[in-house]
Structure 1
């Protein structure tokens, strides 16, 4: 048995990467299937440059690949094309948040304020704020955002999922010292 282990350890010591075993590097490459989707979405947008849906689809594809800078750029193009919708402003704010390393900067705050001024119960903006608050440990604030959505008359609100999220946040509040 040792005749197999000793040569393997020697070979690993010479050819392996023992010295940097704890050095993690983030791979920023996008998988080929997602890149294919991004390319298809770009071509569809080029074929129909006045379609807000095409801009949104491309921005979401970029975001799915972690390309938040590109997602923000596409959202800028969409917002310059037509009258901004609250959901679009909230979406761009979330892309800015992730682009900036989960920092809620002034640009994102201004977009959130603008979106909520247009629609105080905008689903994408409130969900972004609730999730950001929850992940930051501000459970009461997250519950408040979710409550606004529950009391709204919006059809695209998953009330069961929000109810579960509120229950989890309330449980965290009870656990907190």
Structure 2
């Protein structure tokens, strides 16, 4: 956004200089008008770009870092607007939370899911999503607050997909391949909608292969 500010400031200074030039050189009207028109276009474009990207950064004190891809930032902006437009929609909050998670705003994502839980405490998937956001916010560790969210999700739905896949992924990362296989198989058997069954099946096969190799050593 600093670059945009400089652009707008430079365009403003340039506009002032052109006005002075026009005042002194009245016979250069056509050229001056063209320059003024171009300057106006620059100012309008800079303002529009700032409005579109520069204010995506704050949703209830959740700031998006400037290094986030502009396309993702635009999606976060739209999701933020949708949440404000439909404050009672859990799905809108889920979309925003997922985008923040994708953008590396893990704590902000967890806060969004927490707000959704406050409205819909019986939705198991919200606890699973919150667990994943907290997991990454805590450096990919299953801390007490992550475990609490996992347990809450499973209390409502024993094979809740988000929390179960998180446990499987963490186990795989730590070399506990048997646990990973068991957890991923729970997801496949649950028939949960919205999961990539092929990807989960591939993960199971990978964990089984690593488990066999570890047992042969």
Q: TM-score, normalised by structure 2?
A: 0.65
Q: Does 1:131 align with 2:189?
A: no
Question: Any gaps of 5 or more consecutive residues in structure 1?
Answer: 1-26
2-side partners of 1:80 and 1:152: how far apart?
26
Larger RCO, structure (CA 8 Å, separation 6 or more): 1
2:115 to 64, 69, 77: 77
Shift of 1:127: 1.0
Partner of residue 17, structure 1: none
- Identify, as 1 or 2, the structure richer in helix: 2
Partner of residue 208, structure 2: 170
Partner of residue 141, structure 2: 103
CA-to-aligned-CA distance 1:44-97 (integer Å, 9 cap, x gap): 111111111110011011111000011011111111122231111011001000
CA contact (8 A) 1:86 1:125 kept: no
1:41 to 79, 82, 98: 79
Shift of 1:153: 4.0
CA contact (8 A) 2:168 2:184 kept: yes
1-side partners of 2:79 and 2:128: how far apart?
21
Secondary structure at the residue paired with 1:174? helix
Distance 1:157 1:69, change over 3 A: closer
**Count of residues in Structure 1 that have an aligned counterpart in Structure 2:** 151
Shift of 1:28: 7.4
Q: Does 1:142 align with 2:180?
A: yes
Shift of 1:39: 1.1
CA contact (8 A) 2:135 2:143 kept: yes
Shift of 1:140: 0.3
CA-to-aligned-CA distance 1:8-55 (integer Å, 9 cap, x gap): xxxxxxxxxxxxxxxxxxx97212221111111111111111111110
2-side partners of 1:41 and 1:130: how far apart?
29
Shift of 1:114: 1.1
2:89 to 41, 46, 51: 51
2-side partners of 1:106 and 1:166: how far apart?
27
Distance 1:135 1:84, change over 3 A: same
Question: Any gaps of 5 or more consecutive residues in structure 2?
Answer: 1-64
Shift of 1:174: 2.0
Q: TM-score, normalised by structure 1?
A: 0.79
Partner of residue 152, structure 2: 114
